[in-house]
Structure 1
Amino acid sequence: MNVDNEKIRSIIVKSVLGTLTEGENLVLQEWLRGNDQNRVLYQKLSSAIELKHKYEQYKSVDVEEAFRRNQHRLYQNDLNRRMKKNLPYVAAVLFLFGVFVCLLVNHTGEVREEIPVVLSAGGKHAELILANGQKVDLHEGMEMKLRERSSNIQVKGNVVYYEEKKDSVTIDEYNMIRTPLGGEYSLTLSDGTKVWLNAMSELRYPVAFGGDLREVELKGEAYFEVAENKNKPFIVRTDEFNVRVLGTSFNISAYADSPLALTTLCSGQVRLTDCMNPENEQDLLPGEQLLFHRESRKMEIRNVDTDVFVSWREGFFQFDNHTVEEVFMILQRWYNVQVFYANTEARQEVFTGKLPRFDNMMIIIDLIKRVSDLKITVDGKVIYIDK
């Protein structure tokens, strides 16, 4: 039976997902009886045991919204029309042909294997620097106990926990935790404040909080859930501004390579003060975001969907009218890649959607290519984008 490759791939995916129609099942059975190579191809693809579980996760990808946002481009060719018609299977197809070995059938019917490009995701990696300068490499699943003079430290479940020693005299001891490209980690400070540190970030903090203030220093991005203590305000210091809180949850993104530093408030209330001009300060309410323009030192407040800016903590990328340049600036920190643009137009395409932090960045690149006019070339860990 002569069945084109695209049709049989779609039928195989539906077979694994358990969504075949009676007619498609007849086509599949006849195709399997055709020759041994067909049966080998089917066995290799259908052996993806976890596909259905992964598919349920990938259904959260907001591909429909991405298509609506880019609808004027999608109808420029038949491929995009076919993808829109089969949206429920897009993530599953990409998973089969992007993460696993890509199995192709050539015109002679011979099965051949191609190893796809893999741009691996980051993980739970960080470096903890103790007060005496000792460096501890933190990685997925490790467990250990450490001690400082004012606090006990436990590493467990990808979190660093600090517990202030009872009856001890609080002294000025500082630790630092920093994440590399493609790394993230969490910690609970001695006052109970929880911190999630994103990739390429650094937090310096006392092992125990003495005095009238709780102060930490941040470079990069972190999400805070601050333990309430009305008598001892919590202050996050960055290179550009300070954030003062009593008890609240918020996200700060203050990467040095970005012209903007963002503070997004999820609950409570915070006050931001310009380090160079203390009179330049603003209060934020839940659902608001402050944009700090580094060059002009201007503060601008806007209302936002806070989930867009904190979903990284739950293992997602979320974009809302983000330009290509903004999207790939976020991606390159997690996948540890370099990105180059051929022209200004390539930087300005706009995307909206929510994507899991796939193990392979190529899945995201494939999705972007299918909903845009961008030409994306991957050479090792270097990505070239043209339009």
Structure 2
Amino acid sequence: MVIAFENILMTMGHDEYIDWKLLVCRMNGELSKEEEQKFLTWLAKDTRRKAYYERMVAEWNSDTIRESDMSRELAKLDQFLYLQRKKGHQVMLRRRWLKWSVAAVLLVGLISSVYMLQRMRVEILEKTSVAVITPGKSKAILILSDGTSVNLDRGVDSTDTFIGVAKIKRNEGTILFEEDRRGTEMEYNTVITPKGGEYHVVLSDGSKVWLNADSKLKFPVNFGEGKREVFLSGEAYFEVVHDEGHPFVVTTDLGNVRVYGTQFNVRRYVDEEGIRATLVDGSVGFAKNGQKEDEYIKIEPGYQVRYEEGQEVVVQKVKVYNEIAWKNHQFSFERKPLDEIMKDFMRWYDVNITFEDESLHELYFSATLNRYGNIETLLRFFEAGYDIKFEINGKNIKVRRK
């Protein structure tokens, strides 16, 4: 699909912004009465919107278009309206003879839902040397309570292995710990995922933990009679077995997340400011280090608690999918600055990314991308949104202006 935007003048206002999904549903005949009225109100504000929408419908009805292509095209309009509304003034788009190409940009590695409105120009990444940069995989190091280290890399051995009460299922990238009450002394194991790694851990009580890249989880070989406490650095998704008599606590250097049988995500990287815990289902509470049990702040599903050292605890509603997308093999972000996105890329692809100009940090993107996609393909997406370029030299990547 190729669509050209030429001499479009948009007067920005609070009613200009419309969710691109609404337009997609309109073309599919899936709008409710309320949504239909919202669409018609938006459409009536400017004759150019009607012309734009008619062109969308024409493309939609063609044999060559796919839904993901249309989603991307509509997303460009959405992002443009959002960005210009923030600026608070009128914008004239200069005539661009360079047409917008959507279907050819990211046929591999994108799922759709991409917000952009800048000229989409796909160029081959400039490389000063050929580099083999691969996405992360199931790999980790297990450090037993006696100090012994075990490589959990899936590629080391395809057979299941037993180490004491632990069963390593390398083909599945999982390690399971069975309960063993023979010992009374509290002993701890630690699973560490390097950059470019992830791993699945099943604790002795049956609770499940998914570790993201560059993370560390310390946990008892057997949980005692009191609380079930684990220690986290990095990011992990938890599915905790309910046990009212033995509360589950995730401890970090900034605070603790107290769990009451639930599914949630905790992110606390030392190179990022603060901790954030996102609740998917059930109930959790958060307390800063040193706070008492009755001072825990509880949140509901769909909410996130954030805390930065020296600041107040903040509770806010979030799009849970974006927060846990990594567990579902995706990158998902909405109006997120480029430097924050690249931090996740660095951890997952085990590369070093630098910026030629700090102003490039504040370029905002929204997308859902394949976490196992080729990094060069994914970087082209960012190049298409703004006049930027990624130079690859071995495992070093530099972001600069074109």
TM > 0.5: yes
Equivalent residue number for residue 236 of structure 2 = 222
- Could you tell me whether the CA contact under 8 Å between 1:161 and 1:187 is conserved in 2? yes
Equivalent residue number for residue 307 of structure 2 = 292
Equivalent residue number for residue 145 of structure 1 = 161
Equivalent residue number for residue 107 of structure 1 = none
CA distance in structure 2 between the partners assigned to 1:76 and 1:369 by the alignment: 20
Q: In the alignment, does 2:96 pair up with 1:82?
A: no
Equivalent residue number for residue 176 of structure 1 = 190
Shift of 1:281: 3.7
Task: Using the TM superposition, name which of 317-326 and 114-123 deviates more.
Answer: 114-123
Equivalent residue number for residue 328 of structure 2 = 314
CA distance in structure 2 between the partners assigned to 1:263 and 1:59 by the alignment: 34
SS of 2:271's partner is: coil
Unaligned runs of 5+ in 2: 1-65, 85-90, 111-123
User: Aligned in 2, Cα 1:312/1:94: closer, same or farther, shift over 3 Å?
Assistant: closer
Shift of 1:60: 12
Task: Using the TM superposition, name which of 275-284 and 377-386 deviates more.
Answer: 275-284
SS of 1:164's partner is: coil
User: Aligned in 2, Cα 1:76/1:130: closer, same or farther, shift over 3 Å?
Assistant: farther
CA distance in structure 1 between the partners assigned to 2:175 and 2:70 by the alignment: 30
Equivalent residue number for residue 79 of structure 2 = 69
SS of 2:244's partner is: coil
Which residue identity is paired with 1:261? Answer: I
Shift of 1:155: 2.9
User: Aligned in 2, Cα 1:367/1:63: closer, same or farther, shift over 3 Å?
Assistant: farther
Flag the structure with more relative contact order, 1 or 2, with Cα contacts below 8 A and sequence separation at least 6: 2
Within a 5 Å distance, the mapping from 1:1-387 to structure 2 comes to 65=75, 68-70=78-80, 78=96, 82-83=99-100, 86-92=101-107, 118-140=132-154, 142-148=158-164, 151-156=165-170, 157-165=172-180, 168-278=182-292, 281-294=296-309, 296-387=310-401
CA distance in structure 1 between the partners assigned to 2:73 and 2:348 by the alignment: 21
Q: Which is helix-richer, 1 or 2?
A: 1
User: Aligned in 2, Cα 1:124/1:75: closer, same or farther, shift over 3 Å?
Assistant: farther
SS of 1:298's partner is: coil
User: Aligned in 2, Cα 1:93/1:60: closer, same or farther, shift over 3 Å?
Assistant: same
- Could you tell me whether the CA contact under 8 Å between 1:290 and 1:301 is conserved in 2? yes
Q: Deviations along 1:40-98, whole A, 9 cap, x unmatched? A: xxxxxxxxxxxxxxxx9x9799675356414779966858x533xx4234323889xxx
Shift of 1:117: 5.2
User: Aligned in 2, Cα 1:384/1:326: closer, same or farther, shift over 3 Å?
Assistant: same
CA distance in structure 1 between the partners assigned to 2:357 and 2:267 by the alignment: 27
- Could you tell me whether the CA contact under 8 Å between 1:320 and 1:351 is conserved in 2? yes
CA distance in structure 2 between the partners assigned to 1:336 and 1:66 by the alignment: 30
Work out the percentage of aligned pairs sharing the same amino acid: 30
Q: Deviations along 1:299-335, whole A, 9 cap, x unmatched? A: 1111001000101011100011110111111111101
User: Aligned in 2, Cα 1:204/1:345: closer, same or farther, shift over 3 Å?
Assistant: same
- Could you tell me whether the CA contact under 8 Å between 1:60 and 1:354 is conserved in 2? no
Which residue identity is paired with 2:300? Answer: L
- Could you tell me whether the CA contact under 8 Å between 1:66 and 1:352 is conserved in 2? no
TM norm structure 2: 0.69
Q: Considering only aligned residues, what root-mean-square deviation do their CA atoms show, in Å?
A: 3.1
- Could you tell me whether the CA contact under 8 Å between 1:316 and 1:356 is conserved in 2? yes
- Could you tell me whether the CA contact under 8 Å between 2:130 and 2:394 is conserved in 1? no
- Could you tell me whether the CA contact under 8 Å between 1:70 and 1:371 is conserved in 2? no
Shift of 1:261: 1.5
CA distance in structure 2 between the partners assigned to 1:285 and 1:171 by the alignment: 36
SS of 2:339's partner is: helix
CA distance in structure 2 between the partners assigned to 1:369 and 1:337 by the alignment: 18
The count of residues paired between Structure 1 and Structure 2 equals 309
TM norm structure 1: 0.72
Unaligned runs of 5+ in 1: 1-55, 96-101, 103-113
Which residue identity is paired with 1:293? Answer: E
Shift of 1:344: 2.8
